[in-house]
């Protein structure tokens, strides 16, 4: 007998019919002799609906109250799935994140899991029950409900798999695995049989929505056997592992992209040794994530700074910078909207120089202007105008031989 953690996303549980299909999948796993823990998201677009309700009341709702609101979405799914399993003659019990012992840091809207008390879940597994846990949520040491950020159900599933020492964690979604890019937009995208933890972590951080970045972090840190597979089709998925097989010796394994990016420019910043640390410490203390950073020195005393953020964080970022202008010691702020980030990822870049040069050549040949650049050993990211995002993805996908028809 093994222990399997299964996670089903919003599309997979988007209707009663689909919840019944999930119940059949779970039952089949138990019939193979396995203990099963199931983590589910809110049904379909219900989280978006809850967000829109809040926005009708306030454009910047209180984050604690948003967590109270959004955490209700998953509670609907866990109870319905538990009912469906019990109707099929399978003993099942549902739990919210806090009932399942998921403890998080005290950050509303984007909390990290700090520990999991698995005693109750293990007890109910020992009693022969299927345990269903609400994804995306937890509780602080002080008893406040928190959420883990969009896509946080992936993190719940992998964290539970690690804490329970599960034999495997299957992430069921509306696609059949991890693709070279999003097949909804690039029809020639190809499914990968395997991806390394590091490559998947970069792809997830850079906009590939198939897995949450923190879920991949947990999987890598605790060596959780992870597979992304379809909840609609019974086909082989994509295995996330330490070292992925290099299919066709591809240097680049995928192209990720993300829209709604804004470039913030800070002009006339003091050119002191501590100016950068001060400005980014201030943003970090307000839980604002900064991505690509570029600094240019104008003279011996001043420098200009540019960085990218998610557009949804723009108003709060500008408010924080303006509220601390005297401390940060800059002259002027500027923001450029309607931008996007496009990235190429592949562990083969480490031993193959010239990948970035080829990327820039391809973009220039297609009249795509690059606003910001960021690199690491296994990725190159550029910020471009949003209307050029899919064009950039398409030409890079073809240039690095990732399309189905290039194999």
**Predicted local confidence at residue 348, as pLDDT:** 84
**Predicted local confidence at residue 407, as pLDDT:** 46
- Give the pairing type, strands 168-173 and 226-230: parallel
* DSSP 8-state class, residue 376: E
Question: In angstroms, how far is CA 165 from the centroid of its own chain?
Answer: 23
Report, as an integer, the average pLDDT of 343-354: 88
**CATH class of the 3-174 domain in this structure:** alpha beta
The three-state secondary structure class of 161 is helix
Rounded to whole angstroms, the Cα distance separating 179 from 90 reads 35
Rg (CA), the chain: 22
Q: How confident is the model at residue 245 (pLDDT cuts 50, 70, 90)?
A: low
Q: What is the mean pLDDT of the chain?
A: 92
For 8-21, write each residue's pLDDT tens digit: 999 999 999 999 99
Q: How many helices (H) and strands (E) does the chain have?
A: 13, 18
Q: How confident is the model at residue 368 (pLDDT cuts 50, 70, 90)?
A: very high
The answer to whether 336 touches 381, Cβ cutoff 8 Å, is no
**Domain residue extents for the chain:** 3-174
* DSSP 8-state class, residue 329: T
The answer to whether 167 touches 3, Cβ cutoff 8 Å, is yes
Q: Which residues contact 401 (CB under 8 A, 6 or more apart)?
A: 248, 250, 407
Rounded to whole angstroms, the Cα distance separating 374 from 358 reads 15
For 172-208, write each residue's pLDDT tens digit: 988 899 999 999 899 999 999 889 999 999 998 887 7
Report, as an integer, the average pLDDT of 164-168: 95
For 272-319, write each residue's pLDDT tens digit: 778 888 999 999 999 899 999 999 887 778 889 999 999 999 999 999
pTM flag (> 0.85): no
Angle between helices 213-221 and 197-205 (to 10 degrees): 160
To which residue do tokens 């999948």 refer? 25
Rounded to whole angstroms, the Cα distance separating 19 from 265 reads 47
Residue 127: both structure tokens together: 């009693």
């Amino acid at each position: 007998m093994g222990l399997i953690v299964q996670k089903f996303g919003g599309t997979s549980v988007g209707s009663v019919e689909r919840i019944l299909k999930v119940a059949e999948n779970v039952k089949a796993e138990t019939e193979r002799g396995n203990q099963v823990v199931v983590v589910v998201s809110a049904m379909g677009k219900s989280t978006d609906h809850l967000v829109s309700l809040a926005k009708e009341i306030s454009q910047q709702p209180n984050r604690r109250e948003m967590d109270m609101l959004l955490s209700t979405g998953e509670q609907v799914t866990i109870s319905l799935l538990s009912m469906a399993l019990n109707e099929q003659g399978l003993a099942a019990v549902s739990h919210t994140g806090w009932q399942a012992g998921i403890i998080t840091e005290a950050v509303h809207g984007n909390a990290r899991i700090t520990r999991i008390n698995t005693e109750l879940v293990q007890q109910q597994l020992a009693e022969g029950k299927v345990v269903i846990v609400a994804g995306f949520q937890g509780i602080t040491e002080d008893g406040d409900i928190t959420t883990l950020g969009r896509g946080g159900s992936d993190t719940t599933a992998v964290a539970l798999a690690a804490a329970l020492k599960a034999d495997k964690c299957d992430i069921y979604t509306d696609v059949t695995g991890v693709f070279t890019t999003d097949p909804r937009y690039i029809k020639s995208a190809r499914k990968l049989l395997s991806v390394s933890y590091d490559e998947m972590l970069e792809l997830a951080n850079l906009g590939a929505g198939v897995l949450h970045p923190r879920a991949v972090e947990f999987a890598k840190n605790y060596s959780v056997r992870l597979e992304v597979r379809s909840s609609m089709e019974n086909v082989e998925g994509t295995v996330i592992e330490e070292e992925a097989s290099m299919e066709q010796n591809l240097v680049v394994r995928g192209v990720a992209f993300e829209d709604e990016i804004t470039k913030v420019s800070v002009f006339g910043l003091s050119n002191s040794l501590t100016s950068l640390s001060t400005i980014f410490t201030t943003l970090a203390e307000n839980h604002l994530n900064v991505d690509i950073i570029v600094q240019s020195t104008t003279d011996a005393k001043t420098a200009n700074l540019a960085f990218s953020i998610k557009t949804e964080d723009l108003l709060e970022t500008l408010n924080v910078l303006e509220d601390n202008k005297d401390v940060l010691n800059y002259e002027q702020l500027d923001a450029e909207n309607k931008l996007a980030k496009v990235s190429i990822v592949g562990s083969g870049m480490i031993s193959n120089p010239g990948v970035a040069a080829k990327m820039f050549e391809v973009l220039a040949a297609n009249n795509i202007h690059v606003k910001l650049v960021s690199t690491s050993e296994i990725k190159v990211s550029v910020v471009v105008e949003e209307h050029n995002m899919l064009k950039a993805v398409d030409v890079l996908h073809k240039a690095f031989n990732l399309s189905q028809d290039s194999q």
